[in-house]
Structures are given as structure tokens and as C-alpha cells.
């Protein structure tokens, strides 16, 4: 199994401040957890991913008690950044799709994959699917001022990298694969009962929010 790293994990493993021993340990833990996930067949991928959401939220709650996080309700700069998610997450989000959203997704498919675009679930600068938001969204936390996240500001964004979260995210991506956000949702229109886990993106760009 080829490891698919989250953007945070990639940043962590490429940091000169992280020792080789810690990098090896992180990769080992990702691989071990990914292997366990891929062999677990008692639950559907959406059920498994829902459980990972709980793990993410637990790590996030603990981390935000130790250091300041500037992310607040109404701050939506990161909701314009293209991202990748698992097919299982697309399956979870499918219940929120409307005809209008589907048409918007089709229009966004014509854009450059890296071009900023508003998330189809963004309503009045707030996430309308917050409880079901993907792992990439859950792991995107910053400590710098919110205005720094403006893509046109040119200011430095201090993203918080929480090793525990990035290990889980990378293991999920390695076990289930990732696709572009729009593809994951549009695939649910064609195959609403078939969340695909075998069509994996291996190698290439990091998964999640960059």
C-alpha cells in the first residue's frame, strides 16, 4: 500500500525541525493504521469515516485547549480552497445535495483544478454541513490572524499541524483513496449507494487543503 499523506503530514515530515526518528515513527504509524483500516470489513466506508470524525474532533478539542486557534464562525477564507476528499465522505455529504448545488458542481468542474472557488455548502460565510464536513476541513486550523488567510493578502498563514490528526487523516487517505471534491459528490449522483474505496489517488499532490 502506497501512503497518501495529508497536507499537514507532508509539511510535518518535510520540516527540518523534525528528527528522522520521529519521521520514521509517523510513517510507520500511518502505514500500520492504514493497513488496519483497509482490512476492516465489518463496517461500510461511510460508517468508518464517521468514526474518524469523532477522533478528529477529540484531538482538535484537546489541542485548542493548549494553544490559541484563530478560526471562528463566519471566517470562511479556507472555504474557497480546492480540496480532495474520500468517496466515503462524498457519500456522507450526498444527503445535502440539491439540484442547484449539483449544477454549481458541474460548473466548477470546468475551472482550473487549483483555482479558488466557493464551497457549494457555504451559506452566508458559514458552513451549512458543519457536522458532516470532511477530514480536510476538520484538520485545517490556523493560529495566525484570520485576515492572513485571505488568498490575496500575501501574508503568512500559520497552520497548526497536530500529529495525531495528520496520522489519522493520512491513514484514511491511504486506505480509502481521495478524489477531487466535485468528483466525489457528482459520483454520488451516478452511484448513490456505492461509495468507492478502490479508486485511490496514490502519489502526486497531497490530499486535503493545501
Question: Where in the chain are the domains?
Answer: 7-190
Answer for the pair 151, 80: CB distance below 8 angstroms, yes or no.
yes
Q: What is the pLDDT of residues 75-112, one digit of tens each?
A: 899 999 899 999 999 999 999 999 999 999 999 999 89
42-63 pLDDT tens trace: 677 788 888 888 878 887 888 7
> Mind giving me the DSSP string for 101-157?
HHHHHHHHTTS-TTS----TTEETTEETTGGG--HHHHT-EE-S-GGGG-TTT----
Reported residue count of the chain is 210
pLDDT value at residue 39: 58
Prediction pTM value = 0.75
| Cβ burial, residue 133 (10 Å; 0-12/13-18/19+) | buried
Cα–Cα distance measured from residue 114 to residue 155, given in angstroms and rounded to the nearest whole number: 19
Task: Give the mean model confidence (pLDDT) for residues 17-23.
Answer: 62
Residue 140 has pLDDT above 60, yes or no: yes
Amino acid at each position: 500500500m502506497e501512503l497518501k499523506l495529508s497536507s499537514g503530514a507532508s509539511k510535518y515530515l518535510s520540516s527540518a525541525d523534525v528528527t528522522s526518528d520521529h519521521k520514521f515513527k509517523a510513517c510507520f504509524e500511518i502505514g500500520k493504521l492504514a493497513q488496519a483500516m483497509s482490512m476492516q470489513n465489518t463496517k461500510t466506508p461511510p460508517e468508518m469515516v464517521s468514526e474518524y470524525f469523532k477522533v478528529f474532533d477529540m484531538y482538535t478539542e484537546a489541542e485548542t485547549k493548549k494553544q490559541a486557534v484563530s478560526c471562528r464562525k463566519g471566517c470562511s477564507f479556507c472555504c474557497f480552497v480546492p480540496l480532495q476528499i474520500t468517496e466515503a465522505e462524498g457519500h456522507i455529504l450526498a444527503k445535502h445535495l440539491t439540484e442547484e448545488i449539483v449544477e454549481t458542481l458541474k460548473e466548477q468542474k470546468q475551472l482550473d483544478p487549483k483555482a479558488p472557488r466557493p464551497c457549494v455548502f457555504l451559506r452566508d460565510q458559514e458552513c451549512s454541513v458543519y457536522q458532516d464536513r470532511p477530514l480536510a476541513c476538520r484538520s485545517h486550523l490556523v493560529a495566525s490572524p484570520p485576515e492572513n488567510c485571505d488568498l490575496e493578502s500575501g501574508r503568512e498563514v500559520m497552520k497548526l499541524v497536530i500529529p495525531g490528526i495528520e496520522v489519522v487523516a493520512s491513514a484514511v487517505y491511504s486506505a480509502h483513496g481521495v478524489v477531487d471534491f466535485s468528483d466525489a459528490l457528482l459520483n454520488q449522483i451516478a452511484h448513490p449507494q456505492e461509495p468507492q474505496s478502490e479508486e485511490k489517488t496514490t502519489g502526486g499532490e497531497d490530499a486535503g487543503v493545501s
